[in-house]
Amino acid sequence: VQGVFTGPSEFHIFNTMKLCERANLPFYTTEDIWKICSDKRLFKNLCNQNNVPSVSEYIINGDQKGELLDKNDYPVIVKPVDCGSSIGISVCNSNKELEVAIDYALSFSKKKEVIVEKYIENRGLVTNIRYIALDGDIHLSLLGDQYIVDPVDRTALITGVTVFPSMHTKLYLKKNNAKVMEMFRNLGVKNGSFFMQALPYNNEILIHEMGMRISGGLIYKITEPLNNLNDFKLMLNYAMGEKIDSEEVINSIDIFLKGKTAIDLCIPLKHGVIKETHGIEKVKSEYDIVDFIQYYNIGDEIKKDYIGSLQQLFCRVKFIAENIDQAISIIEGIQNTISIIDSNNEDMIFMKFDVNRIKENRDLYNSLQ
């Protein structure tokens, strides 16, 4: 055995790390670093210690639920400290809702701890920030604007569309990047690809969680055709003990994607059983799709408890456009072409993405500069 590697599952990553340690095989991170970066509370503490702007929060353990309820300014968002994929998350507007949300989040947390943060009202926009570490050198590799599916009723706080590069890239470079790179150097990060999630608000970028791993969104499907950057291959080669050409990797990084616009479009479903799918092959043939990942097929069931988590997604569609206007047009075309019908002969698509949100957010951001 030359090496062991796994995908974005944090359960599998932790066990792969332990296996590599026992077998004396290369692994990109350490258990100490992993424990901090996979725990929302510990990571927020790390940000605070390094003066990296983050979202205001309270920590509530299962036996302390009543102590902090009156101190929150609503709305707040409640999450398990140790879960990803939007699992166990709720937005609350009252103490009564908060008590229910805490119990719900605790039911998913192995540590039996939740994190309660101020819910930032920013039109459902998240900044996705990606880094690559090479022998201790930290490099910003890409930023994206991630729009959640349902920012109004907040029933699905999962990704609807991500636009690359982010309109906040220059702001992040100016205000956050140097502090963040220093934070990861101080932590001892040496190698690997990793990402953070942040909330743009009042001309600031407020970081709230991260993943010390490649993302499940497989963004290398976008960066490789544009600038030959594939963080999956990079991680795989490292696991095999192969020497990484750092200069080649650094030269391939282009956080502005050569002036192009790349899109990761998600199609969320309502609960039910899939009876029919239409338009998938037409989308693949009519548009220059770089990747189409389909998670469900005819006969599969989307259960009620999938709603609000990434298990709700029918597919991810990635494509590259010349500019944002062309990207918006293609999003509309794809959404008007794909249809999913349930066993009751009803439309199963949870919500189509409103492309006006992209235009409105870009106009608002530009007005603040």
Q: Which residues sit opposite 193 in a β-bridge?
A: 132
CATH number at residue 342: 3.30.470.20
User: Mean of the per-residue pLDDT values for the chain?
Assistant: 92
Whether 347 and 271 share a structural domain: yes
Number of domains in the chain: 2
349: confidence class by pLDDT, cuts 50, 70, 90: very high
| Residue 51 placed within a domain | no
Report the distance separating Cα 39 and Cα 43, nearest Å: 6
Reported as a single tens digit per residue, the pLDDT across 195-242 is: 999 999 999 999 999 999 998 889 999 999 999 999 999 999 999 999
Amino acid 68: pLDDT: 55
114: confidence class by pLDDT, cuts 50, 70, 90: confident
> What share of the chain has pLDDT > 70, as a percent?
96
Whether 96 and 218 share a structural domain: no
Amino acid 155: pLDDT: 83
Whether 225 and 287 share a structural domain: yes
Whole-model pTM: value is 0.91
369: confidence class by pLDDT, cuts 50, 70, 90: confident
Reported as a single tens digit per residue, the pLDDT across 264-320 is: 999 999 999 999 999 999 999 999 999 999 999 999 999 999 998 889 999 999 999
Domain that holds residue 305: 1-42+121-369
**Lowest-pLDDT range, 65-69, 127-131, 364-368?**
65-69
Please say which residue of 118, 142, 163 terminates a domain: 118
61: confidence class by pLDDT, cuts 50, 70, 90: low
Instruction: Kindly report each contact of residues 68-75 with a partner whose C-beta sits within 8 Å and lies 24 or more positions away, as own/partner.
Output: 68/116, 69/95, 69/98, 69/99, 70/95, 72/98, 72/116, 72/118, 73/118, 74/119, 75/119, 75/121
| Residue 52 placed within a domain | no
Whether 267 and 307 share a structural domain: yes
Angle, helices 220-227 vs 231-239, to 10°: value is 100
Instruction: Give the mean pLDDT of 53-60.
Output: 80
Reported as a single tens digit per residue, the pLDDT across 7-49 is: 888 899 999 999 999 999 999 999 999 999 999 989 999 999 9
CATH number at residue 64: 3.30.1490.20
